[in-house]
C-alpha cells in the first residue's frame, strides 16, 4: 500500500476492515462497551502471507466463534506450524479461556498471542484464574499499547486517505493501569484496579488501590510507572 493513501477500493483486504469509528469505539480502554471485537491474524509455517479477519460477538463470544470457524475450515493443516495473534477489545472470560485451552490442546501446532484493550470483569476470581491458566498453557497475554493500536489501524481499519498515521492515541495511563492489574492477576495477587460506574454523573471511575502485598510482589519498575499517576481517574 502506498504511504499517504487509504486502502484502495480494489484492495482485497477491505472486506475485513472495520471503520475508524468502530475501532476507536470498541478498543477505547476507557469505555465499558457491550460489544466485543476481535481482530485476528493467522500465519502458516514459513509463509509470508498473513490471513486477517475482524469479527464482533454474536450470541456467542468472539473467541468461540473464531475457534468454531477455524476448526470447521478446510484450511486446517495439522502438520504445519500455525501462529495466531488476536487483538481483543475485552480479555477472554473464564469460559472462553477454557475453550481456548482445549482448542490449543487439540491443535499443538498452533501458538497464540493475545493482546487486549481491557480486562473483562477482572475482579471475578474465575476470570482471573482463566487468564492465569491461559498463560500457563503457553498463551502470551498482554495489554495493547500504542504499537498494537498502530498495527491494527494500518492492517484492520479502513482509514481515510492520508490518515495512515491517524490511529487513536489513548492516554497511556489506561494501558499502565490495565497492565498493572494483569500483573496482579498473573502473580495471584488481589486486584489493585477498581472500576466503578457513577450513574448520576455518567462517570466511570478508575481507582488504583495498592496494598502491601502489591508492593512486595510487583517489580519496582512496573510500580514506579503507576505511582506517578493520580490514584483516581474519572472518565465520562
Ligand atoms: Zn468469553
Q: 127 CA distance to ligand 1 centroid (A)?
A: 9
Whether the per-residue pLDDT at 49 is higher than 50: the answer is: yes
pTM: 0.90
Residue 128: its pLDDT value, please? 98
Q: Using 50, 70 and 90 to split pLDDT, how confident is the model at 19?
A: very high
Angstrom distance (rounded) from CA 60 to CA 230: 37
Q: Which residues are 87's β-sheet partners? A: 39, 115
Angstrom distance (rounded) from CA 88 to CA 103: 18
Q: 182 CA distance to ligand 1 centroid (A)?
A: 17
Ion ligand 1 contact residues with beta carbon within 5 A:
61, 93, 96
Q: Are 27 and 117 in contact (CB under 8 A)?
A: yes
Q: Which residues contact 229 (CB under 8 A, 6 or more apart)?
A: 173, 176, 177, 208
Whether the per-residue pLDDT at 76 is higher than 80: the answer is: no
CA 28 to chain centre: 11
Supply 187's cell numbers: 502473580
Q: 100 CA distance to ligand 1 centroid (A)?
A: 10
Angstrom distance (rounded) from CA 109 to CA 141: 18
- CATH 3.40.140.10 maps onto the chain at 1-170
Which of 24, 41, 53, 63 is catalytic? The answer is 63
Residue 210: its pLDDT value, please? 84
Our answer to whether residue 148 is catalytic in this structure is no
Residue 12: its pLDDT value, please? 64
In what helix (H) or strand (E) does residue 114 lie, and over which residues does it extend? Answer: strand 110-118
Q: What mean pLDDT value characterizes the chain?
A: 88
Whether the per-residue pLDDT at 144 is higher than 70: the answer is: yes
Phi and psi based region of residue 5 (left: phi greater than 0; alpha: psi -120 to 50; beta: remaining): beta
- pLDDT tens-digit readout, 167-198: 999 988 888 889 999 999 999 999 999 998 88
Options 3.40.140.10, 3.40.1280.10, 3.40.50.1820, 1.10.760.10; CATH for 1-170 is 3.40.140.10
Amino acid at each position: 500500500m502506498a504511504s499517504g493513501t487509504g486502502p484502495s477500493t480494489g484492495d482485497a483486504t477491505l472486506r475485513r476492515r472495520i471503520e475508524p469509528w468502530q475501532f476507536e469505539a470498541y478498543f477505547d480502554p476507557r469505555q465499558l462497551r457491550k460489544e466485543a471485537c476481535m481482530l485476528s491474524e493467522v500465519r502458516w509455517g514459513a509463509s509470508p502471507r498473513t490471513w486477517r479477519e475482524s469479527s464482533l460477538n454474536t450470541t456467542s463470544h468472539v473467541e468461540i466463534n473464531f475457534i468454531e470457524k477455524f476448526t470447521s475450515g478446510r484450511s486446517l493443516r495439522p502438520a504445519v506450524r500455525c501462529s495466531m495473534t488476536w487483538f481483543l477489545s475485552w480479555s477472554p472470560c473464564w469460559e472462553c479461556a477454557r475453550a481456548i485451552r482445549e482448542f490449543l490442546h487439540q491443535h499443538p501446532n498452533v501458538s497464540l498471542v493475545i493482546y487486549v484493550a481491557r480486562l473483562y470483569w477482572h475482579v471475578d476470581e474465575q476470570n482471573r484464574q482463566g487468564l492465569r491458566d491461559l498463560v500457563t498453557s503457553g498463551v502470551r497475554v498482554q495489554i495493547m499499547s500504542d504499537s498494537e493500536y498502530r498495527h491494527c489501524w494500518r492492517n484492520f481499519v479502513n482509514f481515510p486517505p492520508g490518515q495512515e498515521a491517524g490511529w487513536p492515541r489513548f492516554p497511556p495511563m489506561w494501558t499502565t493501569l490495565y497492565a498493572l492489574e494483569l500483573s496482579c492477576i498473573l502473580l495471584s495477587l488481589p486486584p489493585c484496579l477498581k472500576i466503578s460506574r457513577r450513574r448520576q454523573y455518567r462517570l466511570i471511575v478508575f481507582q488504583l488501590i495498592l496494598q502491601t502485598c502489591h508492593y512486595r510482589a510487583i517489580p519496582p519498575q512496573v510500580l514506579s510507572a503507576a505511582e506517578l499517576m493520580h490514584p483516581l481517574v474519572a472518565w465520562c
